[in-house]
Amino acid sequence: MPVVASAAALGIWGIVAHDAGAGWVQAVGALVAGALVVGMVAPAVYVARARCRVVAAPYDASAGFSVTLEVWTSAPVELLPVDPPGPAATTGRHRSGTLDVRPEHRGVVDRCTLTIASAAPFGMLWWTRTVVLPLPHPLAVAPRVGVQVHRSSVGHGPAHTALAGPGQSGDPRGVRPYERGDRRTLVHWPATAHTGSLMVRENERPGRRTAVVDGRLPSDPARAERQAERVMADVHALLRSGADVVLETVEPEGDVVAAVSSLHAAGRRLALALPRVGAPVLGDHAKPELRGLPAPRAVEPP
């Protein structure tokens, strides 16, 4: 529309200048025509020649939360993130800037789609170009923490046993010499009388439960997203309760059964998770399976 309006204005100006025959009218018309042409065509050339790349990005993110990308451009332009989406940002004379993008779904993001826009030099007409830029490294997007609805279904596995420190309660394990800070109620008088030195009972720590969470996902992407959110909620609740958590997932290298010690580690695992082979399409209210496990069958790498 701006191009059509400009062409119409120039046509009318040319008719008036031709009928008037005045040289100054024709000269002004030529200047206006030149400015309009430059103002409308130059941004297209500017955008076509502009180059952009992502120079830095985080390794982890969470769905629904913004992360910052550092970008470099060959000229000052406006950048609008499209996928993942985000607000527009302008690079200045230093040709560098930051973009805030917000992934909406879990998964691994290895590229981003941007719209490069410019109206230089006069700001009369904006031209845009869409580019797909690779990230310096993959970005693992963890699912949101959903609503935890089945805490009572968590099973209890056999307890892990470890030595207790001074003053810990649990099943008696033996006796040891008294140490500063031991309670007087722990003094073992028969052993004290036998050895001639003060001895105290040494107890074992109360066992910790171990629960394994089935993080294998259905094949439908929307339901897999909701399932992953519920799994995150279960892992979060279990970790807060002090339980040892083992997460089962299907990842690019195959089935993975490994302990997770933090919500961050669980989020990264679920970002990489794939649908299990032959997975049925579960309903919206399907519950992830939780079971008791004697001990973790694999150890998560640091």
Q: Give tens-digit pLDDT for 216-236.
A: 999 999 999 999 999 999 999
Helix, coil or strand: residue 28 = helix
Between strands 244-251 and 210-214, the pairing is parallel
**pLDDT band (50, 70, 90) for residue 94:** confident
**C-alpha to C-alpha distances, 204 to 156, 166, 172, 276, nearest whole angstrom:** 19, 10, 6, 41
For the chain, report the end-to-end CA distance as a whole number of angstroms: 58
> What is the band of 204 on the pLDDT scale with cuts at 50, 70, 90?
low
Which range has the worst mean pLDDT, 12-21, 44-53, 179-188, 265-274? 12-21
- Give the model's confidence band at 148: pLDDT under 50 very low, under 70 low, under 90 confident, else very high: low
What is the rounded average pLDDT of the residues 195-200?
A: 86
Adjacent-strand bridge partners of 120: none
Rounded distance between C-alpha atoms, residue 182 and residue 9, angstroms: 95
Grouping H, G, I as helix, E, B as strand and the rest as coil, residue 302 is coil
- Is 3.40.720 the CATH classification of the domain at 51-142? no
Asked if the model's pLDDT at residue 16 lies above 80, the reply is: no
Residue/partner pairs of 39-45 with CB below 8 Å, 24 or more apart: 39/121, 39/122, 39/123, 39/124, 39/125, 40/2, 40/3, 40/6, 40/124, 40/125, 42/120, 42/121, 42/122, 43/118, 43/119, 43/120, 43/125, 43/126, 43/127, 44/127
Q: What is the pLDDT of residue 286?
A: 41
What string of DSSP letters covers 174-226? EEEE--TT--GGGB-HHHHHHHSS-EEEEEBPPPBPEEEEE--B-SSHHHHHH
